[in-house]
Amino acid sequence: MTDEEIRQALDWARKALHDMGVFERPDGLRWAAAHGLVISTWRNGPIEDAHASPPTKRRKKLHDGVMFARNTWLTQQAFDALGSSKSYRLLRLEHVILDRDTVWPGTNGTLTDFGWGFLGEIQKHVKQRVNTLLHFEHHLSPDDFLVFAAAPQIGTHVDHFGMPKWPACVNLALRRLRGEDQEFFQEWGDLMQRVGPAPDAVTSDLESTEKVLLNAPWELGAEVLNWFAWNPILHLE
């Protein structure tokens, strides 16, 4: 791409992010960039093949709750990395993503446990994406780099952790857990019954549940997050 083409692409991306409401919240662009980093380096890669594959004697089941915990935790790590002034911050993030030995927060396994059989492909994908990001980090201004990093999630995921509509999603979920949204239960009651009742860890202290969902969803644990992943209670519509 020429410099002019890059500038046009960044101008388009900035407008799209503005339309998504990214700039309306504190550190909104950095959160969007963190989310984009996780999508490009991690979520839209070989880990999806492991997620879609059945467990084996060596590979643990990588269910939706595990992915929920992992993705939100990595988004927080990416957000912190993008706010750091340390040299090689993206390489430090790469190390965190590819660490094979540390138990993933909120789960009972490591990258080795959940990604066995795909580890080489995962490493290759992450390193390729980070190398691309390093190139653009060097050539763009800090603000333009955040726009570039945020681009992979433009048009989607505006209601995920760290994104503009996440607080509204959490607020709705708590209203529904309190039984205050009758229209929701009229529309989704059958599905909610099939999914089953909310775990005790969610309902025993709804105020704490709200704080954790807003700030650190992985702390609820993968099994609890799997319940959230399998029903529409966090959806805006």
Convert the pLDDT of each residue in 150-163 to its tens digit.
998 887 778 899 99
**Worst-scoring range by mean pLDDT, 5-9, 82-86, 189-193?**
189-193
| Own/partner long-range contacts of 123-131 (Cβ < 8 Å, ≥24 apart) | 123/98, 125/41, 125/45, 125/46, 126/41, 126/42, 126/45, 126/94, 126/97, 126/98, 127/94, 127/98, 129/40, 129/41, 129/45, 130/41, 130/90, 130/91, 130/93, 130/94
Query: What digits encode the pLDDT tens for the residues 22-68?
Result: 999 889 999 999 999 999 999 999 999 999 999 999 999 999 999 99
Can you tell me the distance from the alpha carbon of 124 to that of 32, in angstroms, rounded to the nearest whole number? 24
237 pLDDT more than 80: no
Residue-level pLDDT at 87? 85
**Residue 14 DSSP label:** H
99 pLDDT more than 90: yes
Q: Answer for the pair 169, 236: CB distance below 8 angstroms, yes or no.
A: yes
pLDDT-based confidence at residue 103 (cuts at 50, 70, 90): very high
% of the chain surpassing 90 pLDDT? 86
Q: Answer for the pair 46, 125: CB distance below 8 angstroms, yes or no.
A: yes
Query: What digits encode the pLDDT tens for the residues 138-184?
Result: 999 999 999 999 998 887 778 899 999 999 999 999 999 999 999 99
233-53-108 Cα angle (round to 5): 65
Residue-level pLDDT at 81? 97
Overall average pLDDT of the 206-229 stretch: 97
Q: Answer for the pair 81, 92: CB distance below 8 angstroms, yes or no.
A: yes
pLDDT-based confidence at residue 100 (cuts at 50, 70, 90): very high
Q: Which residue has the higher pLDDT, 148 or 3?
A: 148
Predicted TM-score (pTM) of the model is 0.94
